[in-house]
């Protein structure tokens, strides 16, 4: 029996190449001693509908679709990827991708794997993807799936379905909240903030910024007794520029995003957001 350890990266690569399920890919790689091509052959021998794909073919095209529920309390964003812009712009492909997003919104699966196992028109999403792979001859898969819940959720789809954004706020939607929510979603699409606020920035990221600032200060001949102050200042600037609420608002740089939210409705703020861009997961 093989004793090879199959890594998550190998499993993900095989999933992207074949559209097969997580456990099927893991088993195939184990049986094939980690050889991707042999694992593809194993899947085909077991009846999986796998196209003649080769490692290195990239599925960097596709469509990203963000949608909210009828009560605007939840939302999903799904990225269905393919290899060529020609397929991505095909009306049937867009409809198929939209049907997956609709299913995700209706069922709210916990994970991407759970979404792939859901029934879509009589077969699992995973099986439907495999059918598309066989019929079209391109690698087609759901490369990203995110969801949010909140008192109010706004969805934004960037032109050509290249980016999908969900913004959850702490108050129910009305005309004013919806309008500013759309503006904030566009901000997220354009600026790609790291987190909502400082609490969402990983400690190791801040330490990295401090370390870089220290090295620059040392190289510039700054005295040792002010190095900590310089490092802390650099980290503070990084947080301000890379977290949503403290970023300068793209439509009016004299205000922060939080100030714009508060002006739209007192106490309004963002509780969470998700941003998915074409190419995610690759």
**Same structural domain, 86 and 174:** yes
Mean pLDDT (whole number) for 124-141 = 86
Domain enclosing residue 40, as ranges? 8-45
Q: Is residue 74 part of a domain?
A: yes
- Dihedral sign from CA coordinates of 95, 101, 113, 278: positive
Please state whether beta strands 163-169 and 123-124 pair in parallel, antiparallel, or not at all (unpaired): unpaired
Q: Is residue 148 part of a domain?
A: yes
pLDDT in tens, 222-249: 999 999 999 999 999 999 999 999 999 9
Structural domains of the chain, count: 2
**Same structural domain, 28 and 81:** no
CATH code assigned at 30: 1.10.8.10
Question: Residue 268's closest CA among 184, 143, 164?
Answer: 184
Least confident of 3-17, 152-166, 258-272: 3-17
The pLDDT of residue 2 is above 80: no
**Same structural domain, 16 and 89:** no
pLDDT in tens, 69-92: 999 999 999 999 998 999 999 999
Report the distance separating Cα 231 and Cα 56, nearest Å: 41
How distant is the alpha carbon of residue 252 from its chain centre? 27
**Same structural domain, 70 and 119:** yes
**Same structural domain, 72 and 108:** yes
* pTM for the model: 0.77
Please say whether the beta carbons of 139 and 133 come within 8 A: yes
**Same structural domain, 111 and 136:** yes
The pLDDT of residue 45 is above 80: no
The pLDDT of residue 281 is above 80: no
Of the pLDDT bands very low, low, confident and very high (cuts 50, 70, 90), residue 52 is very low
Q: Is residue 202 part of a domain?
A: no
Question: Residue 270's closest CA among 191, 189, 143, 166?
Answer: 166
**Same structural domain, 41 and 75:** no
Q: Is residue 258 part of a domain?
A: no
Least confident of 48-57, 143-152, 269-278: 48-57
pLDDT in tens, 179-198: 999 999 999 999 999 999 99
Of the pLDDT bands very low, low, confident and very high (cuts 50, 70, 90), residue 55 is very low
């Amino acid at each position: 029996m093989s004793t090879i350890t199959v890594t998550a990266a190998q499993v993900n690569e095989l999933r992207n190449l074949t559209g097969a399920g997580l456990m099927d890919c893991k088993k195939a790689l184990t049986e094939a001693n980690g050889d991707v091509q042999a694992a593809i052959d194993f899947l085909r021998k077991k009846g999986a509908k796998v196209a003649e794909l080769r490692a290195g073919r990239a599925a960097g095209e596709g469509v990203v679709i963000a949608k909210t529920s009828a009560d605007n309390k939840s939302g999903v964003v799904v990225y269905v990827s393919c290899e060529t812009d020609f397929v991505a712009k095909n009306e049937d492909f867009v409809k198929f991708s939209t049907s997956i997003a609709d299913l995700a919104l209706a069922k709210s699966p916990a994970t991407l794997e759970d979404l792939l196992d859901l029934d879509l028109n009589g077969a699992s999403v995973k099986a439907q993807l495999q059918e598309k792979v066989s019929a079209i001859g391109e690698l087609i898969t759901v490369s990203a799936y995110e969801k949010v819940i909140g008192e109010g959720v706004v969805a934004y789809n960037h032109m050509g379905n290249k980016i999908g954004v969900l913004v959850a706020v702490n108050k129910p939607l009305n005309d004013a909240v919806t309008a500013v929510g759309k503006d904030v979603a566009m901000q997220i699409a354009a600026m790609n903030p790291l987190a909502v606020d400082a609490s969402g920035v990983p400690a190791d990221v801040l330490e990295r910024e401090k370390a870089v600032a220290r090295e620059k200060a040392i190289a510039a001949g700054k005295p040792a007794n002010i190095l900590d102050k310089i490092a802390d200042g650099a980290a503070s600037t990084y947080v301000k520029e890379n977290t949503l609420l403290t970023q300068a608002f793209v439509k009016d740089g004299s205000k922060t995003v939080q100030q714009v939210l508060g002006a739209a409705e007192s106490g309004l703020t963002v509780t969470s957001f998700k941003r998915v861009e074409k190419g995610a997961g690759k």
